[in-house]
Amino acid sequence: MPLPDPRLALNLSLLFTELPLLERPAAAAAAGFDAVELWWPWPDDPAPPPAELTALRAALTDAGTRLVGLNLYAGRLPGPDRGALSLPGPASDRFRANLPVAADFAASLGCTALNALYGNRLPGLAPGVQDALALENLVLAARAAHRVGARLLVEALNSAESPDYPLVTADAAVALAERVNAVTGLGNTAFLMDLYHLARGGADLDDVIDRHTAATGHVQFADCPGRGAPGTGALDLAALAARLRANGYEGWIALEYRPSGRTADGLTRLIPCREEAR
C-alpha cells in the first residue's frame, strides 16, 4: 500500500494520546513514522525543569523520530486557549519566557519549524492593542527562531471552532507573516497551511495551494468534516499533497487529526509497515 505522500509526520499532541507523552515517539516509530510534531507539551509552564526537556529529547532520539514542528507556548491546548502572543499581561510574559527555551529545545533536535498561535480576541480590549502586541512578540519570536536557524510559522484557524481567533483565512495569515518579515528583514516567517482549518472555513484548497505555496513553511492535515483520519471525510490527501509538490512545496505534511479509537488503527490505511514508508 503506497503512502499518499512520502513525507508524512504525526502530531503527537493529538495522536497516541492513549499513551504517556514519553511513550508516543516509540509508538510513532513502531507504526512506521520517523517524523513527528508537537504542541508545547507543558501548557502551564513555558520553561519546564531541564530534566523534563531532557527526558522528552531522549524519548524522541531513542525512538529514532525527528521533530519537524513545535508550537511555541500557546496556553492550554487542547482547551480554551488559542495562543498567548496577543494577550497582554501574564500570557504575553509566558510567551516571551518560552522563546529561548523552545528555540533551544528545537535546535537540539534539528527542528526548524516553530509555530506561534496568535491568541483570541479579548472582550473590552481594542483589537489594535492586541495587534500591536502581537507584532512585537512575533518579531521577538522570529529573531529567536533565526538565532537557531529555524522558521517562524503563522497559522490560520477556522471561525466555526475558534470564533474569537482573528486569523481565519490564508490571506490574513500570509499577510501577517509578510509584515513580520518586513519588520525584521530576516525573511524567516512563513505560513502554516492547515488544510483542515482552511477547508472547515470554506476555502477552496486548490486555490489556496496555488496562491500561497511559496509562502508556506509547514503543512498540516486532518480530514474534513470531522477532523478525523485521512479517508474519513471529503478531502483527498493524495491529491492535495500532489498539488503542493507540483507547486514546489518540499516540506513535511503533518497529520494532526483526532483519532476515533486507538491511533494505530487509524494509521493502517496509510502505512502497513515501516519499510514501505522509506
d(CA 174, CA 181): 11
Phi and psi angles of residue 275, each rounded to the nearest 5 degrees, phi first: -60, -35
Q: What is the pLDDT of residues 225-234, one digit of tens each?
A: 999 999 999 9
Among residues 155, 161, 250, 276, the one annotated as catalytic is 155
Q: What is the pLDDT of residues 165-186, one digit of tens each?
A: 999 999 999 999 999 999 999 9
Whether the pLDDT of residue 1 is over 80: the answer is: no
Mean confidence (pLDDT) of the chain: 95
pLDDT given at position 274: 36
Asked whether the bond before 225 is cis by omega within 30 degrees of 0, the reply is yes
DSSP string, 2-65: --S-S-EEEETTTSSTTS-GGGHHHHHHHTT--EEEE--S-TT-SS--HHHHHHHHHHHHHHTP
Whether the pLDDT of residue 41 is over 50: the answer is: yes
Task: Say what the pTM is.
Answer: 0.95
Torsion of CA 170, 142, 15, 62, to 10 degrees: 150
Q: Annotated catalytic, 37? A: no
Whether the pLDDT of residue 276 is over 50: the answer is: no
First to last CA, the chain: 12
Among residues 23, 37, 161, 256, the one annotated as catalytic is 256
pLDDT given at position 271: 56
d(CA 277, CA 234): 24
Q: Annotated catalytic, 256? A: yes
Q: What angle do CA 76, 68, 144 make, to 5 degrees?
A: 70
> What pLDDT band is residue 275 in, cutting at 50, 70 and 90?
very low
d(CA 116, CA 77): 13
- CB count in 10 Å sphere of residue 143: 15
